[in-house]
Chains A and B, each alone.
Chain A
Amino acid sequence: MIAYKFLRRGRIGPFSGVRWPDPAQDRSWVAANELGAVSACRLEDLPEWPDDELWRVELAGGIHVEAGKLAAARGRLVERVHAWDAAVAAELAAACALRARDAALTMLNPDDAATAALRRCDSPLQIVEVVDSITGLGDSGTDAVHRAADAARAAIIAREQPPSASPAAAEAAFIASHVAAHAAGDVAAAPRERAWQAAWLAERLALGPT
């Protein structure tokens, strides 16, 4: 089975610390160990695990879904998805910040000047500037708006600090899913937001299903 896997720079497993073999030189398998299975992503899992490099990975042996990702007895890299880089991570973060802003807007009084100002924002920097300048929102709205501003700050970091782009994108995506659930008053809105993020990644990176 072919799936996706995010790795740190240099093909390093972000949790295992294992350096995966370069498929151009070494086709050997990486096996599960006593600390856990070889894990990988279906398309829908990708927004939760962004890291520096994205690879297509071949999985084999006892493949199953475990805690929101694929687990297998062994895996080996097939090819890198070069379209995923710090710039795209920053784009994802910005898109998530705007989505978090949109969700927060649903909790505000549509007639307030602050709401109108927030609605007009079309960049993470503008969201931060507007949120820093407004006061007097309702309690629940305040919380959602400040979380949206946190997502926007992460998006700014993603754009300005390329080595931190992937964790910042992960943070913005995570916040957007939280704000969606908060605004909807329904935890099921979080996976729906994650599905939107996965669709964004699939389209932006031209990824096929696993």
Chain B
Amino acid sequence: MSAHVEHVTCQQLVAALTDYLEGVMDAQQRADIERHIVFCRGCATYVEQMRDTIALVGRLAEPDPSTEQSKELLGLFRRWQEERSSPK
């Protein structure tokens, strides 16, 4: 319990949410955010949705292109480079 009575607004929470979720805030900043979440169910839902989204996106696999796809992409890139460097 502290004499600290200033309060984080919804707008400030949204602005600081990335730092909060990445755990880079100090303990006091983190507690200030959490004191807001305790009684603002709108922000509580927003934080939960962001946390779920991060967790889901983190599970997405990024497949490597097949050999054929790599050759095709390289070919496209080389043609694009040649067209850019050729005199107009």
> A: which residues have CB within 8 A of B?
14-15, 17, 34-36, 44-45, 48-51, 66-69, 71, 154, 164, 167-168, 170-171, 174, 177-178, 181, 187-188, 190-191, 194-195, 198
With A167-B38, A170-B38 as contacts: A45 and B1 at CB distance below 8 Å: yes
B2 touches A191 (CB 8 A): yes
B5 CB contact (under 8 Å) in A51, A168, A178: A178
B39 CB contact (under 8 Å) in A35, A67, A168, A194: A168
With A44-B1, A181-B5, A188-B3 as contacts: A71 and B40 at CB distance below 8 Å: no
CA distance A171 to B5 in the complex (A): 13
Q: Counting chain B CB atoms within 10 Å of each CB, which of A15, A44, A48, A71 scores highest?
A: A15
Main SS of the interface on chain B?
helix
A14 touches B38 (CB 8 A): yes
> B: which residues have CB within 8 A of A?
1-5, 7, 21, 23, 27-28, 30-32, 34-35, 37-41, 44, 47-48, 51
Residues of B within 8 A of A36 (CB): 23, 27, 30
Residues of B within 8 A of A181 (CB): 5
CA distance A85 to B73 in the complex (A): 62
